[in-house]
Amino acid sequence: MAHQSPQGPGDPSAVGGAPGVPARRPDASMSLLLDAMRHPLDPGYALAAARRHRRGVRSVAVTAVLALAGGLLLATAAVQLRPRGTEGVRDRARLQAEIDDRVRRADAMQAANERLRAEIAREQQQALQGGQAAGLAARVQLLGLLTGELPVRGPGLRYTITDAASVNDTGVGQNGQDATGSDQGRVLDRDLQIVVNGLWAAGAEAIAINGERLTSLSAIRSAGQAILVDFRPLVPPYVIEAIGDPTRLQAGFADDIAGPYVQSLEDNYGVRVNVADETAMTLPGAGALALRSAHPPVATAAPGHQGPGSTRPPTPEVSP
């Protein structure tokens, strides 16, 4: 008599062959879809991602090593360049002392030259006194005043020009920029040139900047952030003294291009300008000018005279 199996027709173990043989899974026919769900990334892409990860780790390691080496080199250079201990302090002190000593010696030699010039002027005046030489002495005195060789005294104007408040004592703006950048509050050599030329045009008889007398051979230039007058550096504030009629000087200066220029420096760049009338100012002399050549002119016939050999009186031509 045959016995019926207790498994129903839907039991998985019913699918298959004889007892002992593993039953076939119901989703065996969907293996491709199952693989796609379990492994959505292609093996080639996974391999490439792994390689990129390894390269990234290597790059980070190399960058860290290079940064460490660069920091070590910079630290070594800083240690080697930095003065060690008190040696740097002593070197700076020795250099400052040498500079001060040379400045004192230069000032002493300049004072000695001034004394010698004054002595020569006195001897010259004594030698030219009396007779026809008296007129020559007066002419020499006048020419000395006009050329700037001798000191001069009289009324005039005093212009005091100072850097803008945004510029500190070193000539650099508070934002770390100098006059070549966005900070234009520092007084430049061309500013002093325009002011001086404006005063000459207004009728000034003598001009000095910070005690340096200007002549026809004087030059106002710049060297870095320093302003030089006849190769002598100036320190702000810049005091420009001009001898002449104060009223005439002010009117002529305002009518010249220098007047609006100085006003624009005040309005646009904050340069501080102060003008004061002086009843009596004394400007130093610039010293004797070097005589390079002196010779009579080429002889020419006198006007209205037809005789041969007639010439003008030989008048020396002197060029300083």
How many other C-beta atoms can be found within 10 angstroms of the C-beta atom of residue 75? 10
**Range from 27-31, 44-48, 51-55, 231-235 carrying the lowest mean pLDDT:** 27-31
- Average pLDDT, stretch 2-30? 53
- Average pLDDT, stretch 13-29? 57
Q: What is the pLDDT of residues 62-105, one digit of tens each?
A: 788 888 888 888 877 776 666 555 666 778 888 888 888 888 88
pLDDT at residue number 185: 87
For residue 163, pLDDT beyond 60: yes
% of the chain with per-residue pLDDT over 90: 24
Q: What is the pLDDT of residues 23-33, one digit of tens each?
A: 666 655 666 66
pLDDT at residue number 289: 67
What does the mean pLDDT of the chain come to? Answer: 74
pLDDT at residue number 242: 93
For residue 110, pLDDT beyond 70: yes
How large is the angle between the packed helices 246-255 and 189-201, nearest 10 degrees?
Answer: 120
Q: Residue 3: which pLDDT band, with cuts at 50, 70 and 90?
A: very low
- Average pLDDT, stretch 116-128? 76
pLDDT at residue number 315: 39
Q: Residue 134: which pLDDT band, with cuts at 50, 70 and 90?
A: low
- Average pLDDT, stretch 97-118? 84
% of the chain with per-residue pLDDT over 70: 62
For residue 156, pLDDT beyond 50: yes
Task: Please give the Cα distance from 195 to 244 (Å, whole number).
Answer: 15
For residue 40, pLDDT beyond 80: no
For residue 18, pLDDT beyond 70: no
For residue 162, pLDDT beyond 90: yes
**Range from 33-37, 147-151, 193-197, 279-283 carrying the lowest mean pLDDT:** 33-37
pLDDT at residue number 74: 81
Q: What is the pLDDT of residues 207-259, one digit of tens each?
A: 999 989 998 888 899 888 889 998 888 888 999 999 999 999 999 999 999 99
Q: Which residue has the higher pLDDT, 164 or 89?
A: 164
- Average pLDDT, stretch 180-206? 85
pLDDT at residue number 96: 85
pLDDT at residue number 305: 44
